[in-house]
Structure 1
Amino acid sequence: MKIAVTSASGQLGAAIVKQLIKEIGSNYVVGIARTPENAKHLGIEIRKGDYNNREQFDEALKGIDTVLLVSGMDAPEKRIQQHRNVIEAAKANGVKKIVYTSIVGDETKTAFHSVVKSNRQTEADVRESGLQWVIGRNGIYMEPDLEYLDTYIEEDEIRNCAGEGKCAYTSREELAFAYTQMLLKDNHNGQIYNLAGEAITQAELASLINQVYNTDLKYHSVSVDAYEEERKAALGEFIGGVISGIYEGIKLGINDVSSDFEKATGRAHLPPLKMIEKFKNG
């Protein structure tokens, strides 16, 4: 059996590849990347595949039994067709099963809604593909907060518009473990899983970071409008809107979801404290 992982040069794709190698060995895993050189370090066969190019995926998916479709990073209006290029190529090449990395979220309530909507459309396309399928809806990654820690320390606070809202964080490593089980085990076929951990507030996040890093961060809540303005000024209209939309979603309770992680993996999700410790210790 050969399993292909798209976006293998990205952080989530690479984490899934590494976990698959641990479980089934490198001979059975194929990475697909827009720029193959960026994934060579994974030590597996790498094939070229740009989501915009259906013909490349017709080549990339030859001889593949199962494909893991990592959600693209392009603008929402472009993603749907990009993902369809992979789904159609999978069907044409006799791929038997497709696993899709979607996201937790709401389709109407925040500036993040267009991204969520595009993911939901791909979920529908996957379900209607005629292939065996499994869909994971990823919670928000813990890593970006920890990668941003120097800025938090400099500013002496974690500042956003999430208020008292709770967020069920996950990590790329935890997701890699879950997706590997979903790829390898047929009892997950036809399921949609929320892949997230225990829900915590931003104040609790600050407290856990303080515990692990010996910092003294406070949480500072600002209005949705003020945070959106700040993020758009710093990151541009699209990314700034997405980031502020994510935190608005937390404020509204959109990311306080019940987790299906144990159903997908057979074990409990790591608690937030353990994820932070693991990140710190590399």
Structure 2
Amino acid sequence: MKIAVTSASGKLGASIVKHLVHLIGKENVIGIARTPEKAVHLGVEIRKGDYNSREQFDGALNGVDTVLLVSGMDTPDKRIIQHRNVIEAAKQNGVQKIVYTSIVGAEEGNAFSPIVQTNRQTEKDIQNSGLNWVIGRNGIYIEPDLEYIDTYVKEGEIRNCAADGKCTYTSREELGFAYAKMLTEDKHNAQIYNLVGNGITQTQLVEKINKVFNTNLVFKNESVEAYKAERTEALGDFMGTVIAGIYEGIKEGANDVSSDFVTVTGRPHLSTIEMMKNFKNTQE
């Protein structure tokens, strides 16, 4: 059984590859990357595959039984076509099963919604593909906040527009484990799972960061408009608007969803503190 993972050079793809190798051995895992040399460190066969090229994926999926499609990072108008390139190549190559990394979020009402909508469209395309399928809806990764701690410390605070909304943070490590299970166990077929941890507020996030990293941060809530203006100035229109939309979604409860993690993996999701400690250990 050959399992291929797209975007293997990315952090989520790499985590999934690592967990798959642990479960089924490196000879059964294929990484697909737009820039193959960025994925050679994974120690598995690497094939070239750019989401914009149907032809590359026709080659990359040759002899593959199951493919993990990591959601693309391009603008919403491009993503649906890019994902269809992989789905169509999978059908042509006789791939049996496709597993997709989708996202939790509100389909309408904030600046992140267009990205959620494109993910939902790909979910539909996969369900209509005629292949076996499993869809994971990922919660927000904890790692970007932890990678940003030095900046938070300089500013003395974490500020965004999430107010008292709860966010069910997960980690790429936890997701890698869950997707390896979804790829290798048939009992998950035709299921849509929320792959999330325990819901916490931004104030609780700050408290936990202070505890694990011995910092002295506070949470400062801003209006959606002020936060969006600040983020677009720092990151440009597209990313700034998306980031503001994510936190607006948290404020409105879009990320406070029930978790299917135990169903998928057979064990509880790590706590926020445990994820932070694991991250800290990898940095030391």
- Shorter-chain TM-score bucket reads over 0.9
Aligned to 1:160: 160
| Matched letter for residue 77 of structure 1 | D
CA RMSD of superposed structures (Å): 0.4
Aligned to 1:106: 106
- d(CA) in 1 for partners of 2:129, 2:258: 27
- 1:80-115 per-position Cα deviation (integer Å, ceiling 9, x unaligned): 000000000000000000000000011111100110
**What pairs up with 1:62-101 in 2 under 5 angstroms?**
62-101=62-101
Aligned to 1:262: 262
Q: Secondary structure at the match of 1:281?
A: helix
Quote the offset at 1:228 in angstroms.
0.3
Q: Secondary structure at the match of 2:39?
A: helix
**What pairs up with 1:129-148 in 2 under 5 angstroms?**
129-148=129-148
User: Any gaps of 5 or more consecutive residues in structure 2?
Assistant: none
Superposition misfits of 4+ residues, deviation over 6 angstroms? none
Aligned to 1:122: 122
Aligned to 1:231: 231
Quote the offset at 1:140 in angstroms.
0.2
- d(CA) in 1 for partners of 2:279, 2:134: 28
- d(CA) in 1 for partners of 2:189, 2:224: 39
TM-score by length of 2: 0.99
- 1:220-270 per-position Cα deviation (integer Å, ceiling 9, x unaligned): 001000000000000000000000000000000000000011111111000
Aligned to 2:45: 45
Aligned to 2:278: 278
Aligned to 1:241: 241
Aligned to 1:58: 58
- d(CA) in 1 for partners of 2:214, 2:30: 41
- d(CA) in 2 for partners of 1:191, 1:2: 21
- d(CA) in 2 for partners of 1:70, 1:248: 24
- d(CA) in 1 for partners of 2:165, 2:202: 8
**What pairs up with 1:183-202 in 2 under 5 angstroms?**
183-202=183-202
| Matched letter for residue 75 of structure 2 | A
- d(CA) in 2 for partners of 1:248, 1:106: 10
User: Any gaps of 5 or more consecutive residues in structure 1?
Assistant: none
TM-score by length of 1: 1.00
